[in-house]
Amino acid sequence: MAQLPPLNALRAFDAAGRHLNFRAAADELGVTQGAVAQHIRQLEAQLGQPLFERQTKGVSFTPAGRSYHARIAAAFQDLRVATDALRPAPGKVLISVTPSFAAKWLIPNLPDFAARHPDIDLEILATENISRFHGDGIDLAVRQGDPPFGAALEAIRLFRQEIIAVAAPSLVADQPLPLDPAVLATLPKLHDTHDHWPDFLKDLRINDQSGRGLHLSQTALSIDAARAGQGVALVSRFLVVHDLAAGQLLQVRPEALVGKQDFYLLATRSKRRDSATQAVMDWFSSKAHTGG
């Protein structure tokens, strides 16, 4: 078999042929323009014919060079494809969460996850429906519930159910905090599908005088409406922790509704759980328990 040209000379030829410019090829390869020119001269000497025609502002192929480059470029592409096929694919983890959890907690915290786990592709399925681990192909789920969830599932509690009343500063600007119960009774209420207001008002012995209020299908929408000054919302504290810290929402009463429907991270029990799924589980647990 005829001796093959040096690999570095072929790499320089491939890059120079794609750019038709030795300087641009040198920038791509991280070498000097002189090094690229020397590799090309050595390659031409070994092949016994010119591959480029030198011009003032670059180079152009000779007929032989154009034909040779097409074959060399295809060979390098084959090498890239073969190498990529052997490298392990980035870990992929599909997690099912409610739309409100996704919008108000998970997405704001994704930059931290990406910084800690750049090799994991976290796919989010935001749905109110109960996802099935096998039927829907999910790896993890975050759901609100009351354990036990079944012997086949591992459950990690992320957040306790702690419902607080919040409003925009503009809505209560002329009132001292905490709001007097009589004042709270008159303010517009924002309702979601959980409908916590009757229990909250009952605990405060308040007869609501605000009218029907605004009814929304998701807690995330209730939070957005509260931020817009449209009323007082009852929401899980962890969903508004950043809004409270930024002063975009205020807790208007110190009381909180506490129940059994806490928020859990669910996974199937497995002795051979893949490392990506375990890393996501560890991140959720750590982030939740440090107040993220």
pLDDT tens across 78-132, in order? 998 888 777 666 689 999 999 999 999 999 999 999 999 999 999 999 998 888 8
- Write the pLDDT tens digit of every residue in 254-270: 999 997 789 999 999 87
pLDDT of residue 274: 87
Least confident of 20-24, 141-145, 201-205, 271-275: 271-275
Using CA atoms, how far apart are residues 54 and 158, in angstroms rounded to an integer?
66
Tokens of 63: 């007929």
Tokens of 128: 């109110």
- Write the pLDDT tens digit of every residue in 8-30: 999 999 999 999 999 999 999 99
Q: Does 1 score more than 60 pLDDT?
A: no
**58 contacts 21 by C-beta, under 8 angstroms:** yes
**262 contacts 156 by C-beta, under 8 angstroms:** no
CATH code that applies to domain 7-86: 1.10.10.10
| CATH 3.90.550.10 is the classification of domain 91-161+261-289 | no
pLDDT of residue 211: 80
Using CA atoms, how far apart are residues 6 and 20, in angstroms rounded to an integer?
20
The helix (H) or strand (E) run that includes residue 93 is strand 91-97
Domain pair 7-86 / 162-258, same fold? no
**229 contacts 116 by C-beta, under 8 angstroms:** no
Domain boundaries, the chain: 7-86, 91-161+261-289, 162-258
pLDDT of residue 138: 92
Cβ-count burial 244-259 (b if 16+ within 10 Å, e if not) = eeeeebbbbbeebbee
Number of CB atoms found within 10 A of residue 78's CB: 10
Q: Does 149 score more than 90 pLDDT?
A: no
Q: How far apart are the first and last CA of the chain?
A: 63
Name the percent of the chain in helix, strand, coil, to the closest 5: 45, 20, 35
Domain 162-258 fold is: D-Maltodextrin-Binding Protein; domain 2 (3.40.190)
**237 contacts 256 by C-beta, under 8 angstroms:** yes
Task: Provide CB contacts within 8 A for 159, sequence distance 6+.
Answer: 236, 238, 262, 263, 288
